[in-house]
Amino acid sequence: MEEKNTLMEERLRKREELQKKGIHPYPYSYPQTHHAKPLQEKYAALKIEEKTTDEVSVAGRLVLLRRMGKATFAHLQDQTGRVQLYFREDQLGKDPYDLLKLLDTGDLIGVKGTVFRTKTGEITVSAQELTILCKATRPLPEKFHGLKDEDMRHRYRELDLIANPDYKEVFIQRTKIIDAVHEFMKQQGFLEVQTPVLQTVYGGAEARPFKTHINAWNMDLYLQISPELYLKRLIVGGFEKVYTICKNFRNEGVDKTHNPEFMMMEFYQSYVDYHEMMRLTEDVFAHVAHKIYGKLKIPYQGKEIDFSTPWKRLSIKEALLQHAQIDVDKKSDEELQHLLDQHKIEYRTFARDQAVILLFEALVEEKLIQPIFIIDYPKIASPLCKEKRGHPELIEKVEPYVNGWEMGNGYSELNDPVLQRKLLEEQAAQLRAGVEKAQPMDEDFARAIETGMTPTGGMGIGIDRMVILFTNQPSLRETLLFPTMKPLKDEASQSETKP
């Protein structure tokens, strides 16, 4: 801590000295004409020690500074990469050259000069003008080149991006993936809409919400856990194809595939069922694979994932039989309960349908590496889904899986207003009885369904998990610029913990 204070004091001294020389170390703009990577590509054909008269202006952060008397080499880093700079006192002038003594790694500068290739083969800008764009007062962490500490990387993402500039590509790819999803949905004729993040009643998923408060009305509100109920109200209103890509907030665990704040897409279409939702889901993944990789087979952490369509479809019972050798229909309640206990699967009170879902999650999910749809769940799985035709004990619910992860959730949507109200009231009763993840009664939604909703298919897809796959990253935190992080210490001592 003492050493850091000393380093910062030295930088502040240099800042003051610059100001005394009449130099404003925080100007308003700079005429940047070139970026590092395109510059390297443009002059790739230059021969050793070949010089040009082409003038360029580059700008970025100093990440390396080597002073050698009357000549200095430096590396400047911008969004695209790095380029070498060469300063000579006789070319720059003594006073401007002396300003280099007031620079440190981490400072932002602009340099105008000509391009040449050094005798060591590096494309370099020979400086004719130097402009200080920002005097940084906090030093970069020691050994910031190739910063590895995961907590520091995720907590102080700006340092991660400075230290590991190639890592920017992950977030550029993230944007391209989301753009590809938008492109696909618009090609399919879906209208993008927005739903409220602040809601008086949360619903559409089994999850604990985040609560907030609106002072103007002196009442509690909830952060959205799902846009589902609002999107269905738009279907009632006459829109036939709607989708949203939005942030949801669920007050639950944090691990390599879960963050309390996460992005997902939900889409709903009139006059179709869960079969069409499966087609659209497998097609959007294939579209993204083509956009990002130019092919349907992509690498992921040493595996190859094949997004060729159509994906395999298995009922949840078939999946248990195929992957866990459990024939649910031939097991008594006692035998299913014994399996739960044998595999140390936690449950509050035994229920046969719930046991089927718990056994599937514990014994089958992680084995579903290649894209697959798991369909036809017990009724307990959702109060918003139609029963399966010919099998009234099941519902037409589908979950896509890739790499052992649930990637989404879709239904043939329930549009029977009497049954829907009954199921929502049952959920509300469970919530009052202490079942935290049960859904509250949404009277506005129930009224909307009573107005009449078309036969409808709906699907929600986890965009963050899609990004993990298509960027070949090991965890969610590697694909979120600012994942939710637990503070290191209480607020009063935060300054002592920051790098």
Cβ neighbours for 217, distance < 8 A, ≥ 6 positions apart: none
Rounded to whole angstroms, how far apart are CA atoms 478 and 97?
Answer: 41
Residues 252 and 170 in one domain: yes
Residues 234 and 304 in one domain: yes
Residues 119 and 208 in one domain: no
Whether 494 shows a pLDDT value over 60: the answer reads no
Only one residue has tokens 């549009």, namely: 415
DSSP state of 240: S
Rounded to whole angstroms, how far apart are CA atoms 323 and 367?
Answer: 7
Q: Give the bridge partners for 384, in sequence order.
A: none
Whole-Å CA distances, 306 to 173, 177, 410: 19, 17, 21
Task: Give the model's confidence band at 491: pLDDT under 50 very low, under 70 low, under 90 confident, else very high.
Answer: very low
At CA 395, angle to CA 463 and CA 276, rounded to 5? 50
Judged by average pLDDT, the poorest of 48-62, 96-110, 133-147 is: 133-147
Residues 122 and 62 in one domain: yes
Whole-Å CA distances, 344 to 72, 221, 336, 404: 65, 37, 12, 20
Rounded to whole angstroms, how far apart are CA atoms 464 and 458?
Answer: 19
Rounded to whole angstroms, how far apart are CA atoms 127 and 124?
Answer: 9
| 380 within some domain | yes
| 267 within some domain | yes
Whether 497 shows a pLDDT value over 70: the answer reads no
Final residue before a domain boundary, out of 91, 106, 140: 140
> What's the confidence (pLDDT) of residue 392?
94
Structure tokens at 353: 């349908």
Instruction: Kindly report the CATH number assigned to the domain that includes residue 467.
Output: 3.30.930.10
Rounded to whole angstroms, how far apart are CA atoms 427 and 441?
Answer: 7
Across 57-85, average pLDDT: 95
**Percent over 70 (pLDDT), the chain:** 96
Label residue 156 left, alpha or beta by phi (over 0 means left) and psi (-120 to 50 means alpha).
beta
| 316 within some domain | no
Residues 90 and 206 in one domain: no
Whether 492 shows a pLDDT value over 50: the answer reads no
Kind of pairing between the strands at 123-134 and 81-88:
parallel
Residues 73 and 118 in one domain: yes
Contact between residue 247 and residue 197 where contact means Cβ atoms under 8 Å apart: yes
Cβ neighbours for 16, distance < 8 A, ≥ 6 positions apart: none
pLDDT tens per residue, range 223-270: 999 999 999 999 999 999 999 999 999 998 888 888 999 999 999 999
Residues 250 and 380 in one domain: yes
Instruction: Kindly report the CATH number assigned to the domain that includes residue 23.
Output: 2.40.50.140
Residue 252, φ and ψ in degrees, nearest 5: -135, -160
Structure tokens at 266: 């939900």
Residues 129 and 187 in one domain: no
Whether 455 shows a pLDDT value over 50: the answer reads yes
Task: Collapse the DSSP code of 365 into the 3-class scheme (helix H, G, I; strand E, B; otherwise coil) and give the result.
Answer: helix
Judged by average pLDDT, the poorest of 137-146, 384-393, 434-443, 481-490 is: 137-146
Whether 422 shows a pLDDT value over 70: the answer reads yes
| 79 within some domain | yes
| 419 within some domain | yes
Residues 227 and 284 in one domain: yes
Residues 398 and 259 in one domain: yes
Contact between residue 132 and residue 23 where contact means Cβ atoms under 8 Å apart: yes
Q: Closest Cα partner for 106 from 67, 54, 145?
A: 145
| 195 within some domain | yes
The number of distinct structural domains making up the chain is 2
pLDDT tens per residue, range 185-209: 999 999 999 999 999 999 888 889 9
Contact between residue 436 and residue 427 where contact means Cβ atoms under 8 Å apart: no
**Percent over 90 (pLDDT), the chain:** 82
Residues 204 and 94 in one domain: no
pLDDT tens per residue, range 297-352: 999 999 999 999 999 999 999 999 999 999 999 999 999 999 999 999 999 889 99
| 335 within some domain | no
Residues 133 and 242 in one domain: no
Highest mean pLDDT among 63-72, 135-144, 181-190, 482-491: 181-190
Q: What is the span of the domain harbouring residue 207?
A: 166-311+371-478
| 123 within some domain | yes
CA dihedral (43, 49, 53, 55) in degrees, to 10, reads 60
> What's the longest Cα–Cα distance across the chain?
91
